[in-house]
């Protein structure tokens, strides 16, 4: 008897320790797999917004199912709980796998299906761990274990922070998946052990005497869904602006989501006070003002200053939404808030992913969600719920935001220019048309331009593609030696390169975004008036080339963002695919590397060298146009990848200065016999921090 009592006492003491380890570990694993899954889907969906929107919606769904599973288990006998947990753990460990990353049409529903098919049991297990442990602790007499929210949020934040800065840079995908899978097995085992301890040491009288949770009123349920949906909408809106600037990947996703989780950790720590909510209201108002002044409805660059206002607006909105949930929810029912937040988050993510792209031609949902949150906060502050009060407060807040936004939009074109906005799950495009030109922009990046003063002007390649740019010179030299060119281009834009096609040439453009196909056909004439044969294919370029049997004289990778070309188009496997299609014609690979915050050359050079290829970086600065060339030029960076025997002839194509200094070229090569293994990109290891200058983006003007 004494031994049994001592054993029971030890198990009772071990249970809280086990809970403190298990809850943050489960949260860590759940949010570690989130960026990994999003990154896995980027190639499949062409880098579209659907990949990340779908991931957030899927995680809200998995979180909701985990909470529901835990709530169902809470009313069962311990033996039933143990059996159900063991069965789910076994299924989760056996069935988990990464979703296939083969190319597919974009769509949030397709993303949800792929992720659920591959990982749902594992995520339900992880997301249910916290509430199950919380239920067991309450039955042991701990009514409101606030610290569980804190340590779970700490685990989630640790995963989001470590992924882009450690896991993505240090581990190959099979290694990370192996370790993650092993930790999932550990969580399943620890949860089963915790259930066994609870069954052996639980006091049914303590469980019966615990205070029942108050029923949540329909009004509070609607308010909770409203606040949670707005917080997720703000998070996704902020992520949209960041991915447009620094590329779609974990580095852009981690910041807004981390701020959202941090707000949960702080507001539900048990130390939140009314004055903090009041301060958050002021913080949100100031942040909204700052963001409207620095960016608002315009397409200006999300630079270091705008990015800080973006983060501030995301954080203040998340804090206010969660603070109001915490303040207005009855104390005994706060355990239901995660379930409510997950439901509202799922509704918000589905709205942003499915409805908003068809309702708002500009990505303004971030600002509208912030205004709606501020309105809700002021209504809470005044304590008034009359429709007239709601309408007045909403108008007072919406009027200056919409007024400034409309003013910005009206002056965006300038000089009577017409603006066309196109938006879907692939993102937002703008076409500006005036008497002199047509300009295509993708969020903050000018993608193409066409001069329209006369017929001669319409046929001139402009901007990044002028005759003396790195790419223009390559096309000129290849055309002078080869009577017939076969050219493949990843990234359509306005189809500017079609201006180079001769009657004997064939140019094939690949782009999975249908908006570019529409714009190239309807708003620009490069394709329609080209002398050559132009094929526009709505498909991801890498996927198309992997299934192609066609040989090319030139392949151009032009799927650029301010952060550079998407990584999956530059991995060792991708370049090997391009080389197969170029080998028979002794062709060249040219990568457009113009970027505000990235240095692609070291990555491309190191990766290409593993295939026996060499790289030449060409930076071109053109001071002004001439009557016959280089119309509307800009500074460009291109990387030419070729075989070693080709490099002397190609280097001779570019002189340091031409046309009395009007055209300047700077060539970059690497002569070192060894290269940095960290910079070799593969499908199973490539990291944004290998080429993106994060410090420069956040802190330098």
Residue 319 banded pLDDT, cuts 50, 70, 90: very high
Highest mean pLDDT among 44-53, 69-78, 176-185: 176-185
Give the whole-number percent of the chain exceeding pLDDT 70. Answer: 89
- What is the reported pLDDT for 209? 42
pLDDT at 227: 92
Over 50: is that where the pLDDT of 205 sits? no
Quote the pLDDT of residue 95: 86
What pLDDT, in 10s, does the model give residues 402-412? 787 777 777 77
User: Which letter, b or e, does each residue of 219-250 get, where b requires 16 or more Cβ atoms within 10 Å of its Cβ?
Assistant: ebeebbbbbbbbbbbbbbbbbbbbbbbbbbbb
pLDDT tens by residue, 363-403: 888 888 998 998 888 888 887 677 777 787 778 777 788 78
For the entire predicted model, the pTM comes to 0.88
Percent of the chain at pLDDT exceeding 90: 28
Of the listed ranges 310-314, 387-391, 507-511, 607-611, the one predicted with least confidence = 387-391
Mean pLDDT of the chain: 84
pLDDT value at position 561? 61
Instruction: Give Cβ neighbours of residue 540 (< 8 Å, ≥ 6 apart).
Output: 43, 46, 103, 510, 512
Q: In this predicted structure, what is the pLDDT of residue 210?
A: 46
What pLDDT, on a 0 to 100 scale, did the predictor assign at position 29? 94
| pLDDT confidence bin for 616, thresholds 50/70/90 | very high
pLDDT single digits (tens) 643-663 = 999 999 999 999 998 888 899
> Does residue 462 contact residue 450 with C-beta atoms inside 8 Å?
yes
Q: What is residue 83's predicted lDDT score, i.e. its pLDDT?
A: 86
pLDDT tens digit sequence for 674-693: 677 788 899 888 888 888 87
Angle between helices 218-246 and 250-267 (to 10 degrees): 150
User: How much is the average pLDDT of 445-457?
Assistant: 86
pLDDT at 26: 93
Rg (CA), the chain: 28
Q: What is the pLDDT of residue 477?
A: 93
Per-residue pLDDT band for 563 (boundaries 50, 70, 90) equals: low
Above 80 in pLDDT, residue 131? yes
- The percent of the chain in helix, strand and coil, each rounded to the nearest 5, is 60, 10, 30
Assess whether pLDDT exceeds 90 at residue 484.
yes
Structure tokens at 169: 């840079």
């Amino acid at each position: 008897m004494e031994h049994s009592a001592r054993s029971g006492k030890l198990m009772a003491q071990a249970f809280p320790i086990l809970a403190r380890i298990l809850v943050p570990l489960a949260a860590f694993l759940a949010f570690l797999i989130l960026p990994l899954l999003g990154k896995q889907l980027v190639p499949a969906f062409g880098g579209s917004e659907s990949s990340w929107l779908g991931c957030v919606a899927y995680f809200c769904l998995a979180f909701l199912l985990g909470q529901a599973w835990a709530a169902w288990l809470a009313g069962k006998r311990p033996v039933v709980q143990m059996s159900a947990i063991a069965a789910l753990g076994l299924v989760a460990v056996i069935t988990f796998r990464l979703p296939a990353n083969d190319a597919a049409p974009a769509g949030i529903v397709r993303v949800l299906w792929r992720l659920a098919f591959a990982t749902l049991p594992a995520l339900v297990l992880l997301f249910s761990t916290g509430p199950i442990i919380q239920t067991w602790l309450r039955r042991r007499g701990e009514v409101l274990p606030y610290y569980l929210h804190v340590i779970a949020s700490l685990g989630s934040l640790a995963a989001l922070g470590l992924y882009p800065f450690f896991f993505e840079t240090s581990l190959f995908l099979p290694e990370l998946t192996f370790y993650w899978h092993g930790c999932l097995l550990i969580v399943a085992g620890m949860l089963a052990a915790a259930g066994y301890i609870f069954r052996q040491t639980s006091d049914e009288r303590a469980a019966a005497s615990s205070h029942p949770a108050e029923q949540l009123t329909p009004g509070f349920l609607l308010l909770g869904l409203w606040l949670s949906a707005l917080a997720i909408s703000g998070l996704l809106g902020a992520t949209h602006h960041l991915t447009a600037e620094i590329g779609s990947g974990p580095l852009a996703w981690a910041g807004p989501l981390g701020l959202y989780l941090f707000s949960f950790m702080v507001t539900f720590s048990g130390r939140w006070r009314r004055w903090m909510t009041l301060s958050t209201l002021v913080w949100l108002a100031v942040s909204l003002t700052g963001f409207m002044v620095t960016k608002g409805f315009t397409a200006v660059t999300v630079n270091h200053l705008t990015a800080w206002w973006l983060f501030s607006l995301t954080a203040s909105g998340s804090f206010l939404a969660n603070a109001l949930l915490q303040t207005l929810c009855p104390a005994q029912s706060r355990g239901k808030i995660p379930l409510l937040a997950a439901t509202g988050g799922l509704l918000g993510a589905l709205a942003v992913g499915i409805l908003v792209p068809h309702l708002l031609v500009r990505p303004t949902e971030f600002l509208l969600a912030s205004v709606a949150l501020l309105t809700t906060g002021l209504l809470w502050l005044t304590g008034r719920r009359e429709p007239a009060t709601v309408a007045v407060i909403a108008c007072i807040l919406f009027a200056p935001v919409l007024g400034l936004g409309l003013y910005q939009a009206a002056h965006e074109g300038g000089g009577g220019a017409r603006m066309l906005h196109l938006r879907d799950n692939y993102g937002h495009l703008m076409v500006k048309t005036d008497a002199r030109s047509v300009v295509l922009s993708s969020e903050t990046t000018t993608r193409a331009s066409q001069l329209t003063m006369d017929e001669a002007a319409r046929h001139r390649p402009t901007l990044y593609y002028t005759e003396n740019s790195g790419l223009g010179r390559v096309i000129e030299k290849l055309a002078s030696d080869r009577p017939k060119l076969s050219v493949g281009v990843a990234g359509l834009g306005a189809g500017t390169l079609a201006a180079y096609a001769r009657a004997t040439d064939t140019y094939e453009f690949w782009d999975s975004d249908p908006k570019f196909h529409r714009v190239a056909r309807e708003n620009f004439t490069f394709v329609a008036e080209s002398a050559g044969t132009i094929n526009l294919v709505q498909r991801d370029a890498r996927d198309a080339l992997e299934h192609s049997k066609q040989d090319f004289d030139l392949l151009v990778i032009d799927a650029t963002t301010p952060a550079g070309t998407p990584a999956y188009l530059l991995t060792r496997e991708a370049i090997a695919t391009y080389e197969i299609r170029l080998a028979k014609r002794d062709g060249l690979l040219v990568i457009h590397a113009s970027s505000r915050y990235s240095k692609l050359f070291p990555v491309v050079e190191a990766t290409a060298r593993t295939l026996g290829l060499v790289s030449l970086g060409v930076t071109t600065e053109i001071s002004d146009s001439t009557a016959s060339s280089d119309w509307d030029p800009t500074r460009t960076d291109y990387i030419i990848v070729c075989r070693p025997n080709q490099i002397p002839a190609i280097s001779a194509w570019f002189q340091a200065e031409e046309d009395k200094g009007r055209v300047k070229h700077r060539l970059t090569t690497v002569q070192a016999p060894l290269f940095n293994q960290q910079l070799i990109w593969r499908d199973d290891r490539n990291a944004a921090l290998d080429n993106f200058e994060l410090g420069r983006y956040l802190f330098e003007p």
